[in-house]
Structure 1
Amino acid sequence: MKHTNLQKEQQLALALAREASAAILPLYYSGVDVEDKEDGSPVTIADKRSNQIILDGIQKAFPNDGIVSEELDTLSGKRFWYVDPIDGTKGFIGHSDQFAIHIALAKKGDTPMLGLVYKPTTGEYYITARGEGAYRVNPDGSKTQLQVAGDREGLRIVTNMTFTLKQRTLVDILQADKLYMGGGLGLRAMRVAEGLADIYIKDSDNGGTWDTAAPQAIIEEAGGIVMRLDGSPVIYSGQRGPSERMVFSKNRDLGLYVADIVQKYVK
């Protein structure tokens, strides 16, 4: 795999995630007012504050890069940063720790080459740059290289905490022997990157590229694959979304098998 020289970009992403975390944690503990966006999803002053910190930092360091963010009109460039200032806003509002900050980077027309999923409540994070390995870094600074699961009997699936009827149908059809339930998309997907689960199915077209870019970079560097339900790769060209249904899988064969079932039975 081709190595990239993204040390400066990685350091920037991590510094901005830490700065944004410090700004939003007091709001997490005190509580915030909630507004509804046009699509019905919630947004808070914490989302906006985190977004502004990350936006300002990227523009200062890399003024020619584009930015795609949930809380911002797209800024154009040859490279695009994909920013979700709080992935899992409902968890943030509900004082759950199941939310994270996402920052990713991709050249136009490519898969993400850098990804960070940062957990503000603990300081734990998942990070990668293409060709450099993917890692989970603990609050004490110790780190573990991520590797998706190998061959094994049974199937371990990740779903969200609401566990909808169509997700239950899918679990029953696949006869999953273990089910992980998580909060934000990024933290769900990290179960696959860590080898704790075999596949995460994003079974709706909700959200945007800011949700999926960072987790995709990490899973693919850990040896897994992210694909649309037709088996094609998920490519980033500065688009916002809406995001598509896709699978985050430990390997292509499992991804294709599950994607086929989703298309046939889960509408």
Structure 2
Amino acid sequence: MKLNQQDLQILSKAAIHAAQQAGQLISSYSQQKMAVKNKGVGDSLASQVVTEVDLMAQEMILNSLAAVTKQYDLGTLGEESPDNHERFEKDYFWCIDPMDGTLAFIKQRHGYAVSIGLVSQAGEPVIGVIYDPLTQTLYKAAKGQGAYRNGQKWQVSIPEEAPLHLISDTSFQDLPQFEQSLQELEIISQKMGYQGLQTRFQGGAALNACWVLEQAPACYFKYAKKELGGGSLWDYAASACIYQEAGAWVSDMHGNPLDLNRPDSTYLNHRGILYATSEKLAREIIALGERMCQENGDQ
């Protein structure tokens, strides 16, 4: 089965409705103290924490999408449930993060969002919906239909005489190559004619990607690493579609398409991730990643 443009419109509307419903649920708990559990996976605190709100939001999303999921014979992959391997059996599967940025939610900081993507069995993102409950901002895209921010057509635009922005989660600051990375990005900024470097370490993967588009010229990346962690399929599926439709750059740290249906794991640590507001900037960061690998002796 291949989805046509009308199918994508129907499924996009369903994903938007589900994301906004879940966002309202999350907002209703945003000022309450939550019981926090540890999932015991990944190598960072952000990948390990989960609250009852994450679980309730995922159940709400799955229930909201149930009718179209059955109608179109779609698979599902959600962060808060075991991988059922439907993504290898169905032509398309929902890739759901009911609350990306749980750590920001726990700390009552801006940076959490609902993220719903639709991905083909080949790993191509065809729908992306991200909803920010705090600001009620809706980011959406469907293959061949453009990207939109709060209903307005959205294309990346790079202003003149602006600084280069590095946007990432707080774990980036814990990297052994953190200081060197900042120094290298300062050099890249100067080389490309930007006005210095500004950093923001705050949100989860979904909003970090959206903030990059809002603060061009900007980038968000994670170096490839051998340890499990560094983000999963559901962290990037929706934003990858939005970037493709917004005319921005998304890839792994080698410049290849994201492996959004990785067969042996849901993690993308093996190749890293790279979001950038232009191909030229992306190429500079890919070269930076290669230098870091050589200096650290990684393959």
Could you say whether these structures have the same fold, taking a TM-score greater than 0.5 normalized by the shorter chain as the test? yes
Which residue in 2 is equivalent to 1:241? 266
| Conserved 8 A contact 2:131-2:139 | yes
Amino acid at match of 1:257: E
Query: What SS does structure 2 have at the residue aligned with 1:101?
Result: strand
Q: For the residues of structure 2 that align with 1:159 and 1:110, how far apart are their CA atoms?
A: 24
Q: For the residues of structure 2 that align with 1:171 and 1:4, how far apart are their CA atoms?
A: 42
| Conserved 8 A contact 2:146-2:153 | yes
Identify unmatched segments of 5+ residues in structure 1.
138-142
How big is each residue's C-alpha offset from its partner over 1:115-137, in whole Å with a ceiling of 9 and x where there is no partner? 01101123211111112211111
Query: What SS does structure 2 have at the residue aligned with 1:62?
Result: helix
Comparing 246-255 with 113-122, which one deviates more in the overlay?
246-255
Deviation at residue 68 of structure 1 after TM alignment: 1.3
Comparing 80-89 with 257-266, which one deviates more in the overlay?
257-266
Task: Select 2:206's aligned residue among 186, 189, 197.
Answer: 186
Matches within 5 A, 1:102-181: 102-137=115-150, 143-150=151-158, 155-161=164-170, 163-165=173-175, 166-175=177-186, 176=189, 177-181=196-200
State TM-score, norm by structure 1. 0.88
Query: What SS does structure 2 have at the residue aligned with 1:253?
Result: helix
Residue 201 of structure 1 pairs with residue 221 of structure 2: yes
Which residue in 2 is equivalent to 1:217? 241
| Conserved 8 A contact 2:185-2:197 | no
Amino acid at match of 1:115: G
Q: RMSD over aligned Cα, in angstroms?
A: 2.3
| Conserved 8 A contact 2:139-2:148 | yes
Distance 1:253 1:7, change over 3 A: same
Task: Select 2:100's aligned residue among 57, 63, 87.
Answer: 87
Distance 1:152 1:202, change over 3 A: farther
| Conserved 8 A contact 2:259-2:268 | no
Q: For the residues of structure 1 that align with 2:217 and 2:206, how far apart are their CA atoms?
A: 14
Which protein has the larger Cα radius of gyration, Structure 1 or Structure 2? 2
Query: What SS does structure 1 have at the residue aligned with 2:220?
Result: strand
Deviation at residue 248 of structure 1 after TM alignment: 0.6
Deviation at residue 195 of structure 1 after TM alignment: 5.0
Deviation at residue 83 of structure 1 after TM alignment: 0.4
| Conserved 8 A contact 1:149-1:198 | no
Which residue in 2 is equivalent to 1:140? none
How big is each residue's C-alpha offset from its partner over 1:168-194, in whole Å with a ceiling of 9 and x where there is no partner? 321211214232413111111112323
Deviation at residue 161 of structure 1 after TM alignment: 3.9
Amino acid at match of 1:178: L
Identical columns (%): 26
Amino acid at match of 2:174: T
| Conserved 8 A contact 1:20-1:54 | yes
State TM-score, norm by structure 2. 0.79
Aligned pairs, how many?
261
Query: What SS does structure 1 have at the residue aligned with 2:30?
Result: helix
| Conserved 8 A contact 1:104-1:213 | yes
| Conserved 8 A contact 1:225-1:248 | yes
